[in-house]
Structure 1
Amino acid sequence: MLSPVVAGVDGSPESLAAAEWAAHEAVLRGRALHLLHVRNWHPRQGEVEITHAAERNRARRVLRQAEERVRAVCPGVRVDDEQVEGPATAALVKAAGDGELLALGSRGLGRLSGLLVGSVALGVVAKASGPVVLVRADGTAGEDREPAGTGRRDVVLGVDVAEPCDEVIEFAFEAARARHARLRALYAWRAPDPLTLGPGEIGLVSDPERAEEWLSFLSAVLQVWRDKYPDVEVLETVVEGKPARTLSKAASNAELLVVGHGITDRPRIARTGPVTHAVIQQAGCPVAVVPHY
């Protein structure tokens, strides 16, 4: 049985936008949509049963609202739902590992709503073994969003040519192919600081020459994927600048931005890298964070 696309819902506008995005994604991938609500309840002594029942009823309302939303915009999607008890981070990390991918709502600029307050969402991104997509509700992925698969907007992929990751690149190519969209692969480079050049290093290469060299590296990295996905149009771009700012700007009108997140071998240390962290805060389009080792 194919694993579903999962959407974490908490009743907020952002989580409803994530559910809508996930519904379209489920149809594109030929998967079912699984709506998940995590209950976090802390009853006082003597009120356990009453509080538990109230939380279950609220969870049912949240799930029903999300299901009505996705059926209105994507009537062909297969939907089921589930409510589980927290902690929220652990439940959502498990869902990301069990599903095809996990979609969560985000307000951007580090302000995440409902269950996805601060460390919860970042903890999910940092610990998840499967892709996590953060979706905003400001028109980029809500009711005003162009339907996925129209081919009008790019899928943007952030590539580190020094350490390219197959999982990240493959996710981006698959997303572009499913949407009949162009894939814009971008690498941001920085000119070397003359003060840090070592003995024998050449610091007099012009910026155009340096950019041309980086572009050749990027093309070499992507050639095997071009061959594997001949139906995907690819635009290779190198830009001088900070990676997070460059990616966020490039994705200002994108269908999806795809970045990687390295999973640490030390499970107690759960952090997102600086570029991924900044992109989550700044990007206006949905951001897919794909884990890799």
Structure 2
Amino acid sequence: MVRAVTVGLDGSRESLAAAEWGAREAELREAPLRLVNVWAPDGVVPQSMADRDGQRHWAERIPRRAQEELRGRHPGLDVTADQLVGWPREVLPEAAAESELLVLGSRGLSGVGRFLVGAVGQAVLAQTDRPVVFVRAPEHGHVPPDPRGPVLLGLDTTADALLEFAFDEARRRRTGLWIVHAWSLPPYFGYGMPSDSSLTADLTEKEATHLGEAVRPWRDTHPDVEVTEDSRRGRPEDLLADAARDHDAALVVVGRRIRRSPLGGRVGSVTYGVLHHVTAPVAVVSHS
């Protein structure tokens, strides 16, 4: 049985953009699309019965209206809409566990090219092992453009789940895969030691070789995907943001290492930076 692509929907422009992106992804995967709207439990927020009934009626319209619009733009797509009771940071990870992936909206911040993954998005991301995609709303309306650029992968590990997701996304879109590997000079360069051009050249060659070795098995099993390897020195979040802009990336893929802790999971500083500065949709893939 093919699992659904699930979208967290609250009626905002960002979540409606996420729903449109999710519909396109569901079509590529030949999977159903599930829209999930989360309603707070009764009695949590003190208010009159009339106010609560009015809000419930409005909330029930959100997934139903989105469902109708998506069916109109994507005839033949199986779209369902559910309203679940609870807190989004608890309910959405449960919905994600039953899905191929979860899609959420991200909100723009003041300043060019910066976006916010709110507390709910971060909590959901830290609590699920399923891929989570964050989509920002376009400047006008809520139907984002469908970019034809490559899938962009930020790679600092050879995790199979991360590579498999990126190659599969490129294959589905019939586009190329651009793999960015960022690396840094040894720490002692930060303590006043003079730069050695030959050492830098050796490190550049070594890192490029390691990247090629990590990617080669996936090239062999996905010969239909055109792959570009880009290994360079710099901050990974900066390199990914620049590459996504320069190549009009259709999707940016980054990893999140699963860490079991009594205090909960962590998003990671690089992933956090990418989510806040990359304007293309960003898929976060958990791996061990």
TM-score between both structures, scaled by the size of structure 1? 0.87
Q: Check whether the contact 1:136–1:286 (CA below 8 A) recurs between aligned residues.
A: yes
The 1:213–1:142 alpha-carbon spacing in structure 2 relative to 1, beyond 3 Å, is farther
Question: Which residue of the partner structure matches residue 213 of structure 2?
Answer: 220
RMSD value, Cα: 2.3
Aligned-residue offset at 1:58: 1.9
Residues in 2 aligned to 1:292 and 1:267: alpha-carbon distance in whole angstroms: 19
Structure 1 residue 249, shift from structure 2 partner? 1.2
Q: Does 1:111 align with 2:108?
A: no
Matches within 5 A, 1:93-242: 93-108=93-108, 109=114, 111-112=116-117, 118-138=118-138, 142-146=142-146, 152-160=148-156, 163-195=157-189, 205-242=198-235
Alpha carbons 1:27, 1:76 under 8 Å: kept: no
Secondary structure (helix, strand or coil) at the match of 2:168 reads: helix
- Cα shift at 1:280: 0.6
Point out where structure 1 has 5 or more consecutive residues left out of the alignment: 113-117
Task: Decide whether aligned partners of structure 1 residues 144 and 263 sit closer, same or farther in structure 2, where only a CA change above 3 A counts.
Answer: closer
Deviation at 1:184, TM superposition (A): 0.5
Q: In terms of mean alpha carbon deviation, does 3-12 or 132-141 score higher?
A: 132-141
Tell whether the 8 Å contact from 2:137 to 2:144 is kept in structure 1 after alignment: no
Q: Distance in 1 between matches of 2:17 and 2:266?
A: 26
Counterpart of 1:256 in structure 2: which amino acid? Answer: L
For 1:216, the aligned partner's letter is: T
Letter in structure 1 aligned against 2:122: L
* Greater Cα shift, 36-45 or 254-263: 36-45
Residues 207 and 138 from structure 1, CA distance in 2 versus in 1: closer, same or farther, beyond 3 angstroms?
A: farther
Identity of aligned residues (%): 39
How many Å separate the matches in 2 of 1:225 and 1:139? 37
Q: What is the Cα deviation at residue 227 of structure 1?
A: 1.1
Q: Which residues of 2 match residues 14-53 of structure 1 at below 5 A?
A: 14-40=14-40, 42-44=44-46, 47=48, 50=50, 53=53
Partner of residue 281 from structure 2, selected from 245, 262, 286: 286
Distance 1:84 1:52 in 2: 16
Deviations 1:152-205 (A, max 9, x none): 311000111xx32111110000100000010001101112244579xxxx9663
The aligned length equals: 276
Distance verdict in 2 for CA 1:182–1:17, change over 3 Å = same
Structure 2 residues not aligned, in runs of 5+: 109-113
